[in-house]
Structure 1
Amino acid sequence: MHRHDTYAIGRTLAGVQSFSYRRNLRNSLPGNTIVLHPDEPHDGQAGTDEGFRYRMIYVEPVLIQNVLGGRALPFLEGGVTTDPRLAAATATLLQHVSLPLEPLEQSDALTDLARALAAVAGSPARHSRGDFLAARRAREFLHANCTRVVTLDELEAATGRDRWSLSNDFRMFYGTSPYRYLTMRRLDAVRHMLLAGRSLADAAAAAGFADQSHMTRHFSRTFGLTPGRWLRVARAVRRD
């Protein structure tokens, strides 16, 4: 048995992941999300002879609190959940370590996680009027700098708003997060360049993606097609 002063949040990838938590034995199956509250004793072992695989991240409560702004820390009683909101909210943070996150991408993912934890735990919502001018300044800054990595410090300096409040502002007034908005502008640029005859690698680099595979992951996730397949369809539509 051991404990952390952080949230331990993970996903079982294969097998049965068993652990003692709050006086009961819990079993997590592939695809389940594990949420262990700070300072709760637990252990961990394989639930069958076949063993198991999992990924886990450790999130400081202060990061969750920065998003929730003074609400009580969310608590999930059972330690294991199949709730699709948490599965979606943890997908980015639980990616393989070979896929590094940009600063804005990590901030967005932490915001998604905190909001999902609060929603699944039934925490009462806190409504904010938001700051439209800050959100608009952020949008203008992202447009002007969409082909490079934008840091959180830069957004704070450009808007005069702290990163967590700004994230809420942006979602309130533009319906998406700053990083997803930035990614869509990059993908718009990629599509225009591909139609103009640029190669996949050139388009990815010019649009600000780390490399072609980075661009392809975002393109396929957003449009449901690989860039090459999308280009063939787009050219066929143009001919028709």
Structure 2
Amino acid sequence: MPHGLDGEAFQGLGRLCVDAAENCIVPAPRAAGMERIEARFHGNAFDLHRHDTYAIGVTLYGVQRFRYRGQTHQSLAGQIIILHPDELHDGGAGTEDGLRYRMLYLEPSLMLDCLGGGSLPFVGDAVVTDRDLRATLLSALGPLDQELDELFVVDFMTQLMQSLAQHAGQPAKPVAKTAWRAASLARDYLEENVARIVHSDELEAITGLDRYALSRHFRATFSTSPHRFLLMRRLQRARRMIEANEPLAEIAIAAGFSDQSHFNRHFKKAFGVTPGRWSALTRRPSAANV
């Protein structure tokens, strides 16, 4: 019996394909230069074809078998597939148990913007095993039912390109002298605008750095990305509101989250408990019960 990835990482998303025995493809909300899907198949899925994007994905369940660059490959649950643009390939389930995977299609122009010039990485291995790269991919491929925040995409692309360059055998680019002043300006701006969506061009305007350079310098200065920094400020604000006994239903939007499920997911990931559980743990006894 084939093994699958821990279902906790995809809690609530199994219903995207209603019938597990049915072949289906479910697209996610698009971001500029990026497309995400989940697919489930039994038997052959695609004949030989090619596309003009990178295709990078994670096998979630079963065996994914495909022909690529003159060889037959197979990817097991937890492994990563990396296909380059304009390369013929096909795909389907390698066993009768079927196949489930999530795939990210990236336009080369988006990757070049992130690299700031130079050549695109060529990864010789079509199937790789790398827990860190898998975690990076699943950060974008996990929440398929939600749009990706712009600051998240910048951080995600920065980490993804570093991993791909490593697998391509390209030397890591040294970060120039840290632009700590620009990073500090970005941090202050994020703190002042914690409850609303902050766009990358705003940070570019106040720091003078392009979004990918800022992401690298911000991480070098504060050991986190602009996206993660803003997310944690929102969660801390929400936690203070919970401790002040404000209604949970109103906290998500007030703290800058798009909806309740978005808030709940990030809160539990950051603190290990749901907002409701945090409320119960921190609730002060009323005077009548003292």
Taking structure 2 as the reference length, the TM-score comes to: 0.77
Amino acid of the structure 2 residue aligned with 1:212? Q
The yes-or-no answer on 1:99 pairing with 2:166 is: no
Separation (CA, whole Å) in 2 of partners of 1:111 and 1:143? 22
CA displacement at 1:136 relative to structure 2 = 1.0
Separation (CA, whole Å) in 1 of partners of 2:222 and 2:76? 37
The yes-or-no answer on 1:20 pairing with 2:67 is: yes
CA displacement at 1:190 relative to structure 2 = 0.5
Separation (CA, whole Å) in 2 of partners of 1:224 and 1:232? 14
* Other-structure match for 1:144: 192
Separation (CA, whole Å) in 2 of partners of 1:146 and 1:82? 37
The yes-or-no answer on 1:167 pairing with 2:215 is: yes
CA displacement at 1:96 relative to structure 2 = 4.3
For residue 4 of structure 1, the aligned residue among 33, 51, 58 is: 51
194-203 vs 38-47, which moves further: 38-47
* Other-structure match for 1:220: 268
Separation (CA, whole Å) in 1 of partners of 2:117 and 2:235? 36
Separation (CA, whole Å) in 1 of partners of 2:66 and 2:148? 30
User: Equivalent residue of 1:55, what SS?
Assistant: strand
CA displacement at 1:207 relative to structure 2 = 0.6
CA displacement at 1:220 relative to structure 2 = 0.9
* Other-structure match for 2:32: none
The structure with the greater share of residues assigned to strand is 2
Separation (CA, whole Å) in 2 of partners of 1:174 and 1:135? 8
CA displacement at 1:71 relative to structure 2 = 4.4
* Other-structure match for 2:247: 199
User: Equivalent residue of 1:161, what SS?
Assistant: coil
For residue 154 of structure 1, the aligned residue among 197, 202, 208 is: 202
CA displacement at 1:3 relative to structure 2 = 1.9
For residue 117 of structure 1, the aligned residue among 154, 161, 164 is: 164
* Other-structure match for 2:21: none
* Other-structure match for 1:36: 83
RMSD, aligned α-carbons:
1.7
CA displacement at 1:84 relative to structure 2 = 0.7
Separation (CA, whole Å) in 2 of partners of 1:43 and 1:232? 52
Tell me: CA distance 1:85–1:122, structure 2 relative to 1, closer, same or farther (3 Å): farther
The yes-or-no answer on 1:188 pairing with 2:232 is: no
CA displacement at 1:201 relative to structure 2 = 2.0
Question: Between the two proteins, what is the percent identity of the paired residues?
Answer: 50
Separation (CA, whole Å) in 2 of partners of 1:15 and 1:93? 21
For residue 135 of structure 1, the aligned residue among 174, 183, 197 is: 183
Amino acid of the structure 2 residue aligned with 1:179? H
1:96-125 CA deviation, whole Å, 9 max, x = no partner?
A: 431111111122211121122123333201
* Other-structure match for 1:63: 110
Separation (CA, whole Å) in 1 of partners of 2:167 and 2:243? 43
Separation (CA, whole Å) in 2 of partners of 1:81 and 1:43? 18
Contact 1:201 1:211 (C-alpha < 8 Å) held by counterparts = no
Separation (CA, whole Å) in 1 of partners of 2:229 and 2:255? 14
* Other-structure match for 2:30: none
Contact 1:149 1:208 (C-alpha < 8 Å) held by counterparts = yes
The yes-or-no answer on 1:208 pairing with 2:256 is: yes
Separation (CA, whole Å) in 1 of partners of 2:60 and 2:238? 33
User: Equivalent residue of 1:70, what SS?
Assistant: coil
Contact 1:89 1:116 (C-alpha < 8 Å) held by counterparts = no
The structure with the greater share of residues assigned to helix is 1
Contact 2:245 2:279 (C-alpha < 8 Å) held by counterparts = no
CA displacement at 1:183 relative to structure 2 = 0.2
Amino acid of the structure 1 residue aligned with 2:249? A
For residue 77 of structure 1, the aligned residue among 99, 124, 134 is: 124
